[in-house]
Amino acid sequence: MSFLSAISFGNPIALWGLLSIPGIWLLLKIYPPAPKTIFFPAIKFLTNINNDEETAGNTPLWLLLFRILLVIILILAFAQPIYNAKPNFLNNNPLLLIVDNGWSSSINWEKRKENLIEYVDRAEQQKIPIIILPTAPKNNILKEKLLLLNASDAKSYIELLTPNPWPSDYRLLNEKIEELSKDKNYNIVWLWDGIDHENDDSSQIFSKKLESIGNLRVVDFLNSSPIKIIKKVSNSDNNNLSIEIQRNFGSLEEIIFIRANGNNGKLLNRKQLTFKENERIISTDLIIPNDLRNELISVSIENVNNAGAVYLFDEKWRKRNVGIYGDKEAFRTQPLLSPAYYLDRAINSFHKVEISQIEDLIKSELSVIILPGVGTLGEDINSKLKTWIRNGGILIRFAGPNLEGSNTDLLPVKLRSVDSRAFGGALSWTEPVSIKTFSKRSPLFGIKIDKDILIKKQVIAEPSSDLITKTWATLEDGTPLITGEKYDKGWNVFFHITANADWSNLPLTGTFVEILDKIINMSMGQMDNTDIIPLHPYKLLDGFGRLVEPTSEALPTDFNKENLTPSSGHAPGYYGNELFMRSLNLGNKLESLSPQTITFSEETVIERFSSKNTLNFKSYLLVTLLILIFLDYFISLNIRGRINLNKLLNLSKLIIIMSIFQVAFNSNFAEANTKASALQTHLAYVLTLDEEIDSTSYLGLYELTRVLRERTSVEAGPPIGINIAKDDISFYPVIYWPILSNENFLSDITIKKIQDYMKNGGLIVFDTRDQSPNNIITKKDSQEQQYLRAILKSLDLPALIEVPENHVIRRSFYLLDELPGRYTGGSVWVEATARNSRDGVSSIIIGGNNWAAAWAKDNTSKPIFSVIPGGEKQREFSYRFGVNLVMYAMTGNYKADQVHIKSILKRLNNKDQETSE
């Protein structure tokens, strides 16, 4: 009964039409049926007969009921029965549709949309205007007027409505609602997503306001599957990203996958995580090797389509611009002496490198500046560099002969070279030492130490209390090799060796690359002034967490702003340009993900969203009606005797069965043919317009197949005739093509097919069959030759030559002087220079010896055609040619390859001797 009670009528007035049914009943009863038509020879005896009485409608009862049913269905269809219809609105005041379209509403947006449309339909039926108010609008709704929409406008508005990747803003709505006139009692429907976005009472105020201006109906869309976001991403340690994921409620256990996405949809890593029951936050480490870090675009939760489930990485995580101080000229002329060369080689595969003068480097907004072997820095440069480091730059310096100990301002440690002795004489060992450890505190920890690295010279730091904390790498004797110090946001790093191979072999090793990469990756990204001005949107996330081109509503965003969160106009995504991007993420900016708690007044109806859809029966009923009307037509035809229903049924059955068989057979047949060709080797011949030639070709090839089976290891199936225009020829190793002068010319597609066949190693034998003595005497070009010429013209062929003495086809199985068929002596042509791709194998053989005729035997194994000039010897040689031909097609230049035959024979001889000994 719940089904019936869920049905309501959109247009109940039409149901009054049911009253007419008794009338229709009577009418059908009274109205005379359509007369049967009968042919009657004795008709003239009827002419003078009194014919006043009419037959009353004697429609059978079932037909009567059937027709009444038709009428009932018609009436019902017009009454528009609706299953699960939305309830009626209480009054005719405008419908105010409040739609939560914040980021969290993407989870079942289509259903929300359908729900909205249903309400609009309902409003349409009651003819009341509609106001739609999204809670996460694209632009500032305060400036826009609230419009009363009619149903079709409202529908198109809803079609365009999408979830937006920022939270609902009830504060804004609270102001907006003030615009509505207070005297009306609105019908209000609020599609509520039930997520607390703001941690304050604005939503509660909002609901109170709504209740005060009308009848509020809340559709609670709180979904059974939790909403998940990526709450936090940070660099944990080497090669790892630490990721924290949160969901809005934790009542059930749930398995999710997080994925690290690279460029162009490349998947860098994927990891399974499990939310346990009552667990709302989980965190994990995702391994992203440093080498891949630059490719990392985003981390996302699989199959979760909201903007919060995507975390975008920007420049902070990306390639750095590294500046190396060096002389470009020296770099070019004597690269192996220039420290910049070693650095450039170590860095430029991971980062962008710029080699320039210090002044230029400071200007050009770099993340890392490397100063190899620079001693004195000017006062001005010194201070500029300092500011730059404080803002987050990383300065890497290398020792060198001209490093002046006195100027240690921009070194992490003091060097023990204040006196001149230390200056000129860096300590030297007789025994070079290697690296002992990378300090646990340093970013270099974890790099594998290679004992092959030997340090011959270094500058030594002045011992101090904080030297140990500053040391990143120590040598075996305990002296520091790499030291580093933090200045505000930036770092100053010092290598106690040179950047070239003078003092050590470290710059020649992979370890050097690793060390530099680690240090460079510590940097913040490009240091630039763009932070000051707002960045333009570059690519933004939409409400479903997809990166799309920014819409016109997107606004430039100032990344220097405190508490920058995605909001209307400031969607999460990339801002900036292709070269420089900053990302704005939603997940880490969301303050809360807890269920929203609003106390609604008692009048407010709260509707749990159910997946049960409203179903409008009208169209179904009309279709049923149409079918029934057709049925009725046939029934009445049958009653009038116009058609025999049984016959019709049989006929249609037959037609259906036949068509099924036809289809089945056709497809089977076609497939079977191709399959057969693919499963076994078959010789093939081209079907001509002449049946006799076709049968000769068949019999000839059949006999040749038999001969092959007897004498060689080629065990081919029966020959197959092919329609060159239609069939797939790619399965056959060799195709015999008897030329007939009156053939149709080939289409471009066919020529392409033949060419492909030849290119891929097929062999076509053209036989003009015209080498008969008659033709030789007349010495005229036969029509066959002319036709062949026409075919060959369209094929892309190299020059043709007569088969040379030593051609492989003369010795691929038998040694042959002549290549006879039914006729002998005619010249046989092959490609002069077979292309490399086919290993020097000709893809075409042309002759006129009518080979198939010589091969052909009838079913009593007697030759069908005599050979000319004659003799069974010639026939035997024609078979030998056939064998050679097939061998040639199958093995190619295998025989020609036997240049080493002498040595092979020799080896065989030796073996024989050994065994005989």
Pairing of strands 254-261, 267-275: antiparallel
Quick one: 61 or 799, whose CB is closer to another protein? 61
Stretch binding another protein (CB under 8 A), from 47-55, 225-233, 560-568, 905-913: 47-55
* C-alpha dihedral (261, 263, 265, 268), degrees to nearest 10: -40
| Whole-angstrom distance, CA of residue 746 vs CA of residue 193 | 68
Which of positions 271-290 make contact with another protein (CB under 8 A)?
none
Structure token digits, residue 736: 């015999």
Which of positions 523-542 make contact with another protein (CB under 8 A)?
none
Nearest to 447 by CA among 480, 466, 472, 467: 472
Structure token digits, residue 286: 């995702």
- Shortest distance (Å) from residue 57 CB to another protein: 9
Helices 339-347 and 510-521, axial angle in degrees (round to 10): 70
271 backbone dihedrals φ, ψ, rounded to 5°? -140, 140
Stretch binding another protein (CB under 8 A), from 46-54, 165-173, 754-762, 871-879: 46-54
Residue environment code for 758-786, b if the CB has 16+ CB neighbours within 10 A, otherwise e: beeebbbbbbbbbbbeebeeeeeebebbe
Q: Is 646 in the site for another protein (CB under 8 A)?
A: no
- Shortest distance (Å) from residue 636 CB to another protein: 13
Alpha helices in 281-338 (DSSP H): 290-293, 328-333
Quick one: 55 or 611, whose CB is closer to another protein? 55
DSSP 841-880: --SEEEE-S-HHHHH-B-TTS-BSS--SS--HHHHHHHHH
From residue 2 to residue 41, the character string flagging contacts with another protein as x (rule: CB under 8 A) and all else as - is ------------------------------xxxxxxxxxx
3-state SS assignment for residue 356: strand
Structure token digits, residue 206: 């909002």
Stretch binding another protein (CB under 8 A), from 43-51, 139-147, 405-413, 739-747: 43-51
Quick one: 44 or 182, whose CB is closer to another protein? 44
Quick one: 642 or 709, whose CB is closer to another protein? 642
Non-local CB neighbours of 19 within 8 Å, separated by 6+ positions: none
By CB under 8 A, name the one of 19, 42, 799, 815 that touches another protein.
42
Which of positions 416-475 make contact with another protein (CB under 8 A)?
none
- Shortest distance (Å) from residue 634 CB to another protein: 20
Q: What angle do CA 169, 175, 176 make, to 5 degrees?
A: 85
By CB under 8 A, name the one of 1, 19, 23, 51 that touches another protein.
51
Quick one: 39 or 62, whose CB is closer to another protein? 39
- Shortest distance (Å) from residue 43 CB to another protein: 4
By CB under 8 A, name the one of 1, 5, 23, 44 that touches another protein.
44
By CB under 8 A, name the one of 45, 336, 430, 915 that touches another protein.
45
Quick one: 651 or 664, whose CB is closer to another protein? 651
Q: Is 647 in the site for another protein (CB under 8 A)?
A: no
By CB under 8 A, name the one of 2, 5, 55, 611 that touches another protein.
55
Q: How many CA atoms lie within 13 A of 69 on its CB side?
A: 15
Q: Is 61 in the site for another protein (CB under 8 A)?
A: no
- Shortest distance (Å) from residue 42 CB to another protein: 5
* Cα separations in angstroms, 37 against 34, 43, 150, 632, 641: 9, 13, 57, 19, 8
Quick one: 50 or 611, whose CB is closer to another protein? 50
End-to-end CA distance of the chain: 104
Non-local CB neighbours of 97 within 8 Å, separated by 6+ positions: 116, 119, 120, 130, 131, 132, 133, 154, 189, 191
- Shortest distance (Å) from residue 651 CB to another protein: 17
| Whole-angstrom distance, CA of residue 27 vs CA of residue 32 | 9
Quick one: 51 or 465, whose CB is closer to another protein? 51
Q: What angle do CA 355, 356, 359 make, to 5 degrees?
A: 145
By CB under 8 A, name the one of 2, 5, 19, 54 that touches another protein.
54
Structure token digits, residue 303: 């199959």
| Cβ-based burial of 916 (10 A; exposed 0-12, middle 13-18, buried ≥19) | exposed
- Shortest distance (Å) from residue 48 CB to another protein: 7
Quick one: 56 or 689, whose CB is closer to another protein? 56
Quick one: 54 or 710, whose CB is closer to another protein? 54
Site size for another protein (CB under 8 A):
25
Stretch binding another protein (CB under 8 A), from 49-57, 145-153, 254-262, 879-887: 49-57
By CB under 8 A, name the one of 2, 5, 50, 806 that touches another protein.
50
Helices 61-78 and 21-30, axial angle in degrees (round to 10): 140
Q: Is 815 in the site for another protein (CB under 8 A)?
A: no
Q: What angle do CA 817, 818, 820 make, to 5 degrees?
A: 155
Quick one: 18 or 27, whose CB is closer to another protein? 27
By CB under 8 A, name the one of 53, 602, 817, 914 that touches another protein.
53
679, amino acid identity: L
By CB under 8 A, name the one of 43, 160, 777, 815 that touches another protein.
43
Quick one: 1 or 49, whose CB is closer to another protein? 49
Which of positions 491-530 make contact with another protein (CB under 8 A)?
none
Query: Residues in the site for another protein, rule: CB under 8 A?
Result: 32-55, 58
